[in-house]
Amino acid sequence: MVNHHHFRWPSAFLLASFLLLIAAPAPAPVFVAADNSTYIPRDYILLNCGSSGRTTDNDGRFWNGDTGSKFAPSLNSAGLTASKQAASSVPEVPYMTARIFTSQYTYSFPVGPGRKFIRLYFYPANYSTHAPSNAFFDVTCNNHTLLSNFSAFLTVNSLNYDSLTRVYSVTREYSVNTSTGGLDLTFTPSSSHPNAFAFINGIEIVSMPDIFTLRTPNLFMGGSSVSYSIEPDMAMETMYRFNVGGKFLSTTQDSGLYRTWSDDTEYIFGAASGVTYPNDPNVTVAYTAGVPSYTAPLNVYSTARSMGPDKNVNLNYNLTWIVSVDAGFYYLVRFHFCEIQNPMTKVNQRVFDIFVNNQTVQKNADVIAWSKGIGRPVFKDYVVFPIGSGQMDMWVALHPDPELKPQYYDAILNGLEVFKIENGNASLAGLNPPPRPQPPPVDASWISGRSTSRKSRAAAIAGGVAGGLVFLIAGFCLVGFYRRRKAKGKDGGSSDGPSGWLPLSLYGNSHSATSAKTNATGSSSSLPGNLCHHFSFAEIKTATKGFDESLLLGVGGFGNVYRGEIDGGTNVAIKRGNPMSGQGEHEFQTEIEMLSKLRHRHLVSLIGYCDENCEMILVYDYMAHGTLRDHLYKTQNPPLTWRQRLEICIGAARGLHYLHTGSKYTIIHRDVKTTNILLDQKWVAKVSDFGLSKTGPMLDHTHVSTVVKGSLGYLDPEYYRRQQLTDKSDVYSFGVVLFEVLCARPALNPALPKEQVSLAEWAVHCQKKGMLEDIVDPYLMGKIAPQCLKKFAEIAEKCVLDNSTERPSMGDVLWNLEFALQLQQSAEESGSISAGISDETPMTIRNKLVDDPSMEPSITTTSTTSTSMEGQSLASVDSYSLTPSAVFSQIMNPKGR
């Protein structure tokens, strides 16, 4: 298990539970006498390697040095000290001293029989003349191989490359069953590396109950399942342990086994993070006979993450976590559940399915049916065998199950653990991650043409291109406000890092309260004053009439979205953050820094922000026509004409082409889809939501190696397989968008036959068979010039080729789309094809589409009135205008992600 010693982002959101509370009468309060008994280990050893005497760690635990220890009697001299402490978040004990081995060495621990947790602590730093990059070694425990050719240096570097915050140290946790002979831990420098050495900073050994053979889980392979027996002598490695929906739990907050439980936020796929909440005050969470106190802390079962209160939203996405694992091993995946909100007291209120690596491991999951009551924990085990090579992603997902027609279409999870099971060679060792290329240095002046401070550049690269980060924060909201206020009255000494939001000025950008009508010339802002205004909180209140509920456009995870007026009548969208989760200040700053400089007619534009009184408010132009998807299927909006669709696709392609080629460094969007293409009052397309964007590779690299993120149905299969991101990944996603525009159906529709589920695959199949016209939007029948359709389908097909090198560049895509538009215009002008509406009214045709069983429910739509394009082609519009335009990701549909 990797322990990230840095500030973790706790995520909390009480809105869903509140809505559920008011949706049904609350039953009588449930009070259960909690069993607070704690497991007491027989053996408990904390060895601070390289030191002597007794020291205390940050959790108040006592560590003994290994110098002269009975576990290592030959070690009579002190070890080495780290050259410097890389960050204050790295504890002094046990990380600042290390024992270095240039030849094989064995620690012997005379422990009793039974299972033991073995935790190894590594801090890859310079120790005298020993460089961390030379540390390659094996670790064995009795007859089990724990690590082979292990490099803590490569492991930490790989985590830092794609992590939101810095990682400096690594902890590995194993569970090994010992006999009466005790436990021998052997460190051996690798013979395959010159100057190789082994090192260890700390060793922890804790007796544990047998938590793995309590029951016999099912093994899922290729869709079928068989019973899998976990033998007592099998060694295990803890890969991940999450307190889902809750904050990081330290060793002293565990139930006697000194485990740590990580916040799950960083591992959630995309921005669809659901909602989080604690237990209802009237519900006491208590252990049961089937779930002993050592299974997981009550704090794990007392917080949860669910999908949210909107049935239509929940049916259109999976609540998904992605974790990296080593192929070639079996994995035990343990799910911890506990219903903790009063509405959930009966069977068939919340029923969902559980998926691991695209396999259904549980149908009709019902926590109340399993636990027999509210506030009663329960856990479920499943074993999977990921097929692949090297390090790969494991997907864990939840989705509502409508089969039993439950009261709420939702899913819940309280905790998640992933354990690796040793292979037939009694080994748990995986491969080291490959060396990561260093990201290019980013100068925040790459557009504005002026230099910025080092701090601003660091903020810029840390966030990548953070336009649209409102939705990266989607799912963060309510409970944190209480935490932040509580923290304001206390000295912030939490190991989780700072709580609450800090004024932007504390991050190197102080701003005066400048009117929206004037430039911030009197401030020391590094932001271009002519592109981004600083609003005072009073101006924001005036614009929204004191945040009048009648002006509420929608509610998202980041906060409420209001329509407002500035400058005497200009409509804007004002997103007010809920500062309750104590997180978001980094994204808030990055969005302002980057989005205010990324200016293009077909990209989102930022008007301004407010950071007074610990508020985090973003101001955008009002988005009149919502998202492209709002006008394609399952909507009351009139259907778009084919020329409108072409012009929208051309606009989006221009925006993406600018990202790929128009700035100093390539910017890869990584989440291109129809809900991230927005339409302003004049139907001009804007690419939005840069929350997953990454800076592209340097000139001497072909790709960026990174954790796979994106949206299912649009995800580049080559990127998914190889974890190598290029601008061609955006091209693939845009190809799916083109087919979606043509066919007016979702990118994925599981209700269809297997071969038709993926739009991209099905459209390519139909294209090759000459049947593409059979799946074109019925409204477009007879309205597309044959040559235009041929050109459009041809470029869409090339975009979704499996091999990224065979895909066209976004510039080529743009050129072909403009050519297709010319073909369409020529056909319409010659009278060979109709440019207007058919005899059937738009709504008649749209209703036919709604009744089509191939259409899945849309998320949330907003009715608008179609307006003409005023005879203007987007191809003729200056794409480099800096005029702010109507942009805000999913303003008309804030719950759509």
List the catalytic residues: 671
- How many angstroms separate the CA atoms of 481 and 10, rounded? 12
Q: 576 by DSSP, 3-state: which?
A: strand
- How many angstroms separate the CA atoms of 703 and 526, rounded? 31
- How many angstroms separate the CA atoms of 340 and 54, rounded? 42
Which secondary-structure segment (H or E) carries 170? strand 170-178
Question: Distance of CA 583 to CAs 9, 477, 478, 501, Å?
Answer: 6, 9, 11, 7
Q: 822 by DSSP, 3-state: which?
A: helix
- How many angstroms separate the CA atoms of 486 and 477, rounded? 16
> Which letter does DSSP use for residue 437 in this model?
P
- How many angstroms separate the CA atoms of 623 and 630, rounded? 12
The residue with tokens 């009697």 is 73
- How many angstroms separate the CA atoms of 343 and 363, rounded? 22
CA angle 742, 743, 748 (to 5 degrees): 120
The residue with tokens 């794990």 is 300
Alpha helix ranges (H) inside 637-726 = 642-661, 717-722
Other residues' Cβ atoms within 10 Å of the Cβ of residue 304: 29
- How many angstroms separate the CA atoms of 30 and 8, rounded? 32
306, 244 in Cβ contact below 8 A? no
Q: Which of 149, 162, 152 is nearest to 131 (CA)?
A: 152
What is the signed CA dihedral for 129, 118, 331, 411, rounded to 10 degrees? -110
- How many angstroms separate the CA atoms of 830 and 726, rounded? 42
Q: Which of 616, 660, 493, 561 is nearest to 860 (CA)?
A: 561
Tokens encoding 550: 């009648």
Burial class (CB in 10 A: 0-12, 13-18, 19+), 510: middle
> Which letter does DSSP use for residue 874 in this model?
G
Q: Which residues contact 538 (CB under 8 A, 6 or more apart)?
A: none
Q: Which of 90, 45, 85, 48 is nearest to 67 (CA)?
A: 48
Distance in Å from the first CA to the final CA of the chain: 31
Buried b / exposed e along 683-711 (16+ C-beta atoms within 10 A)? bbbbbbbbbbbbbbbeeeeebbbbbbbbb
Per-residue 3-state assignment (H helix, E strand, C coil) for 604-639: CCCCEEECHHHCCEEEEECCCCCEHHHHCCCCCCCC
What is the number of alpha carbons within 13 Å of residue 277 lying toward its C-beta? Answer: 24
Other residues' Cβ atoms within 10 Å of the Cβ of residue 246: 28
Please report the DSSP string for 655-670 in residue order.
HHHHHHHSSSS-EE-S
At residue 376, what is the residue type? R
R_g of the chain computed on alpha carbons:
28
Tokens encoding 709: 């993120």
Other residues' Cβ atoms within 10 Å of the Cβ of residue 863: 11
- How many angstroms separate the CA atoms of 608 and 535, rounded? 7
Which secondary-structure segment (H or E) carries 214? none
Strand partners, 45: 205
Dihedral sign of CA atoms 317, 320, 325, 328 in order: negative
At residue 868, what is the residue type? S
- How many angstroms separate the CA atoms of 254 and 257, rounded? 6
